[in-house]
Amino acid sequence: MKKIKFGVIGAGGIAQTAHIPSLKRIEEAEITAIADINQEKLLYVKDTFDIKNTFTDWEKMLETDIDAVVVASPNTFHAQHSIRAMESGKDVLCEKPISLTAKDVLDIFQTADKTNKIFMAGLPKRFSGEAKVLKPMIERGEFGEIYYLKASYLRRRGIPGLGTWFTSKKLAGGGPMLDVGVHMLDLILYLAGAPEPEIVMGATYEKFKDSAIDGGWPPIETRKGDISTGKMEVEDLACGFVKLSNGATLVIEASWSGNSEAGLKASLFGTLAGVSMPDPSDPKNPVRIFSENNGVLTDILPEIPTTDVFYEEMLHFIDCVKTRKEPLIKKKEVVSVVKIIENIYKSAETGKPIIL
Ligand SMILES: NC(=O)c1ccc[n+]([C@@H]2O[C@H](COP(=O)([O-])OP(=O)(O)OC[C@H]3O[C@@H](n4cnc5c(N)ncnc54)[C@H](O)[C@@H]3O)[C@@H](O)[C@H]2O)c1
């Protein structure tokens, strides 16, 4: 069997802890190349993971005979890296937040169509136990009409890569809403049947600029050669209120710093049932479905399987590459997620609701 040859752009935290280890577990794949502008990190990754070819110029890597590319570079480069990779004949798995604008997302998918390449958005919550259990129930109509969606991803003190690209407005594009809010947005919109945003109101805050604390991501051992300016140029909290095309309302919040309970959670309210999805890392607080049975209010505690979301994401991508089937994560869904984040920032900047 011919193995699928992978190249990775960006040799940082997520490549070292998720993509490379996942690929190493998969018989049908091999990583033959890795690109990063940081030579020290490249050499560390080459030695640690036994990767043959390293490139400080990602475009040179695209000239080699790899079949697929994982884009794990800073947010602002995702669209450029994905588009060039597909134009060079490679299938692409691209990290969240995929891009900073809905227009870039459309360009990416248009390139996939034009080049006949697979483009898969790396939104790992799709492979979570919650998504696996709840999506089929919702599709069977067990929740009725879903009309209210709430999600939050809150850190109390924890700015990723403080002073690196993560907190540079130019390189990251934004703070926690782009970084972690994106996961929760994708999860609840997917579960709710992918309604599109119609009106977006957002606000952002920068209250911890002078007392920002590095949150330990990327893991220290993955940061070889990284240089920090110490600057914090993006928000530390963002929230959004969104009216959706099916009449439903969505409320989303994300923080890297804030005086609040930390963790991630989401809820959906439907006319027949609702669900609360607390932090999956809290076993004492399970997923609960709130319904009614012959007039009796009834709680159901569904068994939620534990999944290795990055491994499953990679398996799905490889399956799509082999069979040429469309990935689970669709263009329309990615456009909606990115459009909401883009317009939360736009609304925060202008102080006005954005009507789409
Ligand atoms: N899915 C998830 O849960 C998850 C988790 C963490 C990060 N991410 C995403 O993965 C991406 C990378 O994040 P990370 O945590 O690995 O960051 P990181 O800083 O650890 O790694 C990014 C790497 O990209 C390199 N780089 C910078 N500019 C480059 C360029 N022009 N060409 C090639 N390489 C370049 C940097 O030197 C660095 O090594 C981000 O978009 C982030 O949002 C996703």
Q: How far is the CA of 184 from the centre of ligand 1 (A)?
A: 20
pLDDT in tens, 305-317: 999 999 999 999 9
Judged against a pLDDT cut of 80, whether residue 1 lies above it is answered with no
Both tokens of residue 219?
Answer: 């893991």
Spell out the domains of the chain, with CATH numbers in brackets: 4-123 (3.40.50.720), 126-309+338-355 (3.30.360.10)
pLDDT at 4 over 90: yes
Across the beta sheet with 91-95, the strand order is 53-55, 29-35, 4-9, 68-71, 91-95, 119-122
Kindly report, residue by residue over 127-147, the tens digit of the pLDDT. Answer: 999 999 999 999 999 999 999
CB of residue 178 inside a 6 A radius of ligand 1: no
Mean pLDDT is lowest, of 29-33, 166-170, 205-209, 277-281, for: 277-281
Q: Is the CB of 13 under 6 A from ligand 1?
A: yes
| Stretch (H or E) spanning 115 | helix 102-115
pTM over 0.85, yes/no: yes
At 281 the pLDDT is 79
Residue 107 scores a pLDDT above 90: yes
Q: Does the C-beta of 95 come closer than 6 Å to ligand 1? A: yes
Whole-number pLDDT of residue 186: 98
The string of pLDDT tens digits covering residues 283-297 is 788 999 999 999 999
How far is the C-alpha of 290 from the C-alpha of 328, rounded, in Å? Answer: 28
Would the CB of 10 count as within 6 Å of ligand 1?
A: yes
Is the pLDDT at 88 greater than 80? The verdict is: yes
- What is the Cα–Cα distance from 37 to 60, expressed in whole angstroms? 12
% of the chain beyond a pLDDT of 90: 93
CA 156–ligand 1 middle distance (angstroms): 22
Q: Report which protein residue has its CA nearest ligand 1's atom 10.
A: 72
Q: Ligand 1 center to residue 310 CA distance, Å?
A: 15
Residue-level pLDDT at 82: 98
Would you list the DSSP string of 95-109? ETT--SSHHHHHHHH
Residues 210-247 pLDDT 10s: 888 888 899 999 999 999 998 999 999 999 999 999 99
Residue type, 83: I
- The response to whether residue 58 sits with its C-beta less than 6 Å from ligand 1 reads yes
Average pLDDT score over residue span 3-22: 98
Predicted confidence at residue 22, as pLDDT, reads: 98
In whole angstroms, how far apart are CA 239 and each of 136, 207, 250? 29, 14, 11
Considering only CA atoms, which residue is closest to atom 38 of ligand 1? 12
Mean pLDDT of the chain: 96
